[in-house]
Chains A and B, each alone.
Chain A
Amino acid sequence: MENLHITNGQLAQWLDDMRRDGLRIFAPVAQGGKTDFKFLAEGDTVAEDYVQTAQSAKRIVLPMAEVLFSYRKHGKDIEVANPGTDRFNDTIIWKARPCDARAMRQVAEVFTRDYDDAIFEARRSHTTIVAFSCNTCDDCCFCTSVGGSPGGTEGSDILVTTLTDGGGALVEVLTPKGEGLAAKYLAGAARADGIDKQAHLADVRVLFSADEVRAKLDGAFDSPVWQEQSERCLGCGACAFVCPVCTCFDIQEDAHGARGRRIRCWDSCGFSMFTQHTSGHNPRPTQAARWRQRILHKFSYIPEKLGEAGCTGCGRCSRACPVDMNISEHLKAIAGHE
């Protein structure tokens, strides 16, 4: 795999050519006062000046609602229709952040361990991620505190770093999928030579040590910190819905008369119904217990299994929270807690 150095004109041309070829491109677009991913349609302009999209790109591989199968009742008999996995189209995620690309690996881990989820696998195999390094960040960003970097390559097929001196972009071609795309759209591009990538990246401050947080969490189950931090939590689940790593889901029935569909939908451990038994018994009966689960799962349980936090520091949860719960502030407090 090689690194290329392209001009700003070549970068713009690359996207134009892919759009002209009719590729399905999922990219950030500024609309209605926010910047978010959407499938590019004619007239859409890819957003330039933003730090982070409102939602992550996760929904390309894990849509908010996925039909698992449908069925029809005929008297006492049931006819089930498996939607199969040949219905998906190739999709390019354009301008994902390195934190989102990195999160894809953890999402994939959940859906491929023990039991292979063929629907997820098919979606993922049709997805190519062209991530863009971050030249800027904001106060909510903390990728460097959880082992990431504004120029991290993990999970991307291609990583583009736009050079802040206006001198074009560095293109790191990282996987065979990325090679395929580069061969088609960047043939003839110059080899990168002597570019100091680091100089063009955002300066994301390290706010806490994920290892220290993990060590503190080992004895923190009964700490008063959960109650203190979650006192104002509304249990709205916004943090989970914008998270690029969260994968918890519900399975729901959408039935009308003799026809129905079984659907996988996003869910959140922050919802009171998440663990509630039919009897009314709830193993996590308070918002404090649910907040604790969110933090323990991401910063203690997942690290034990995968060796890294279940969080890539994208900061979306802090930006989306309607009551300003700032996750890095809370993690700093846990790391410093006696």
Chain B
Amino acid sequence: MSNKNIYLPYLMRIEKITDEAPGVKTFRLAFEDKAEGEAFNFRAGQFAEYSAFGEGECTFCIASPPTRRGYVECTFRRAGRVTTGLAKLEEGDTMGFRGPFGNSFPIEQWQGKNLLFVAGGIALPPMRCVIENALDMREKFKDITIIYGAKSVGDLVYKEKLKEWEARPDVNMVTTVDPGGETPDWKGKVGFTPTVLEQVAPSSDNTVAVVCGPPVMIKFSFPVLEKLGFKDTDIYTTLENRMKCGLGKCGRCNVGKMYVCKDGPVFTKAQLNGLPPEY
């Protein structure tokens, strides 16, 4: 029996705040206790509970990759009570962090394969971790394709990173905005993400696909991938069920025989096929 209080967060100092899009911010967090920070490890795809003291906790994936040590980053949209509380914080303020929780992307098993990332809107942050993790060991993979879509040009997050990935000769970066979301000088594609995925038509041969986005985007992207010949065991996503504890105890994220916080959040489409559609 351990005497550790599993609900107690690490205290984190906000080192840097980046405005990504309207209502969307990225925080770079450093551990108050340096020893805790040095001992901290995680894997791409894992998530954490972030505290705004006075408001509560909320759940996001860790957005920075485990290959870049000394800090963690999270990106969130101001939407409810806790994210509004977080959004009010300033550089130098203290917040809480509990994690890492859940499973991760089996990135070691993907070595020698092509990688296809399909993300929509605010779902690029959970995918950024695995994208950058893969880019930090670029030689282990074959082609890397990233298809990212948002409602409008203003809603695209990580604008600097998008430019950086676009400039890389070893990344096929496709950016799109929903019809009507383009600006006069927009150089990317116009169309819903699943439609653009169909146009780009990446080969399914020796390829793993990772899809993250709002439920509607996922719903329409899966059939496209199927048409392109992807097997359900080669399609990955991360579920975003409401959570409180992150420890498989509070019961909130229970879907069928799984707890998303413990057995997920990363699932293959083959695994989702065996779950009730409660996500």
Cα distance A249–B252 when bound, in Å? 8
**Cα distance A77–B96 when bound, in Å?**
11
A78 within 8 A of B: yes
Please determine whether A262 and B250 come into contact, CB atoms closer than 8 angstroms.
no
Q: Is the Cβ of B5 less than 8 Å from the Cβ of A119?
A: yes
Check A114 for interface membership: any CB of B closer than 8 A: yes
Q: Check B7 against A262 for contact (C-beta < 8 Å).
A: yes
Q: How far is the CB of A173 from chain B (nearest CB, A)?
A: 25
Q: Which of B34-76 contact A (CB under 8 A)?
A: 51, 53-57
B262 within 8 A of A: yes
A221-B276, A260-B53 known; A248-B250 Cβ under 8 A: yes
Provide the residues of chain B in CB contact with A89, threshold 8 Å: none
- Residue B249 at the chain A interface, CB threshold 8 Å: yes
In Å, the complex CA distance between A117 and B9 comes to 14
Q: Assess whether A251 is in contact with B255, with CB atoms less than 8 Å apart.
A: no
- Chain A residue with the shortest CB-CB distance to B253: A275
* Cβ-based interface call for B4 (8 A): yes
Total A-B pairs in contact (CB under 8 Å)?
Answer: 118
Bound Cα distance A44, B129 (Å): 61
B248–A277 touching, CB < 8 Å:
no
A250 contact from B93, B250, B257, Cβ within 8 A: B250
Q: Are B278 and A289 closer than 8 Å at their CB atoms?
A: yes
Hey, which chain B residues are within 8 Å of A27, CB to CB? none
Interface status of A305 (Cβ within 8 A of chain B): yes
Query: Across the interface, do B244 and A249 meet the contact criterion of CB distance under 8 Å?
Result: yes
Binary interface encoding of chain A residues 251-266 relative to chain B, with 1 for a CB under 8 A from any of its CBs, else 0: 1110100001010100
Instruction: Judge whether B180 is part of the interface by a CB distance below 8 angstroms.
Output: no
* Residue numbers in B under 8 Å from A88 (CB-CB): none
Chain B residues whose C-beta falls within 8 Å of the C-beta of A211 in the assembled complex: none
User: Of A80, A252, A276, A283, which one neighbours B56 at CB under 8 angstroms?
Assistant: A252
B263 CB, nearest partner CB in chain A, Å:
11
Which A residues are CB-close (under 8 A) to B251?
A: 247-249, 267, 269, 297
**With the chains together, A278 CA to B84 CA distance in Å?**
12
Please state if B11 and A275 are interface contacts (CB–CB under 8 Å).
Answer: no
Main secondary structure on B side of the interface with A: loop
Q: Is the CB of B254 within 8 A of A301?
A: yes
Asked if A69 and B55 sit within 8 Å, CB to CB, the answer is no
Chain A residues contacting B132 (CB-CB under 8 Å) are: none
Query: Within the complex, what minimum Cβ distance (angstroms) separates B59 from chain A?
Result: 10
Given contacts A110-B249, A289-B278, contact A116 B1 (CB under 8 A): yes
Cα A275 to Cα B276 in complex, Å, equals 14
A103 to B141, CA, bound (A): 51
Binding site for B on A (CB under 8 A): 68-69, 71, 73, 76-78, 80, 82, 85, 110-111, 113-119, 121, 221, 247-253, 255, 260, 262, 264, 267, 269, 274-279, 281, 283-284, 289, 293, 296-297, 301, 304-305
> A85-B3, A283-B241 known; 20 other A-B pairs, CB under 8 Å?
A78-B95, A78-B96, A80-B11, A115-B248, A115-B249, A116-B6, A118-B4, A119-B5, A247-B249, A248-B250, A248-B251, A249-B244, A249-B250, A249-B251, A251-B7, A267-B250, A269-B254, A277-B240, A278-B83, A297-B254
Between A and B, 16 residue pairs with Cβ closer than 8 Å are A69-B7, A76-B94, A78-B53, A78-B94, A80-B9, A110-B249, A115-B249, A118-B2, A118-B5, A221-B276, A251-B244, A278-B79, A278-B80, A278-B83, A283-B241, A304-B257
Residues of B within 8 A of A (CB): 1-9, 11, 51, 53-57, 79-80, 83, 92-96, 214-215, 240-242, 244-245, 247-252, 254-257, 262, 276-279
